Amino acid sequence: MRLDKYLWAVRLYKTRPLAAEACQNGRVRMASDGRGLKPSHDVKPGERFLLNIDQLHKEVEALALPPGRVGAALVPAFMADLTPREEYERIDMARRYAYERRDRGEGRPTKRDRRDLERFKESR
């Protein structure tokens, strides 16, 4: 199965063209050697991939090849998410403390909010 089709089938990308574009732009790499992959790469069970989806850096392993796009409940049978918990926490913190994404009416960030944001930016 083609890589772009696999990424779409296991619901990592909403459409197949988005998956192909991510491959072409170098946002999908092989975990073993870090080389970029083309959308036409032939996926084999046991292969690991590194994906950059927005700011999230995911690592996934192909367990099996799905017959087509599968429901969200069936995804764990075809893909293992090996992304560390710290990565999800980093993204959650970024969303929570990002100055640009403050809700309307929430006002300016407090001194504590500003220091947390600066600490987060330095930890990258």
pLDDT (tens digit, 9 = 90+) per residue, 4-46?
Answer: 999 999 999 999 999 999 999 999 999 999 899 999 999 999 9
pLDDT (0 to 100) of residue 12 = 95
- Homologous superfamily of domain range 1-83: RNA-binding S4 domain (3.10.290.10)
- Band (pLDDT 50/70/90 cuts) for residue 2 is very high
Q: CB–CB of 28/3 below 8 Å?
A: yes
Mean of the pLDDT values across residues 104-112?
83
Model-level pTM?
0.75
Q: What are the b/e assignments for 63-72, b being 16+ CB within 10 Å? A: beebeeebee
pLDDT (0 to 100) of residue 56 = 87
DSSP per residue, 70-106: --GGGGGGTEEE---HHHHHHHHHHHHH-GGGPPTT-
Q: Where along the chain do its domains lie?
A: 1-83, 84-124
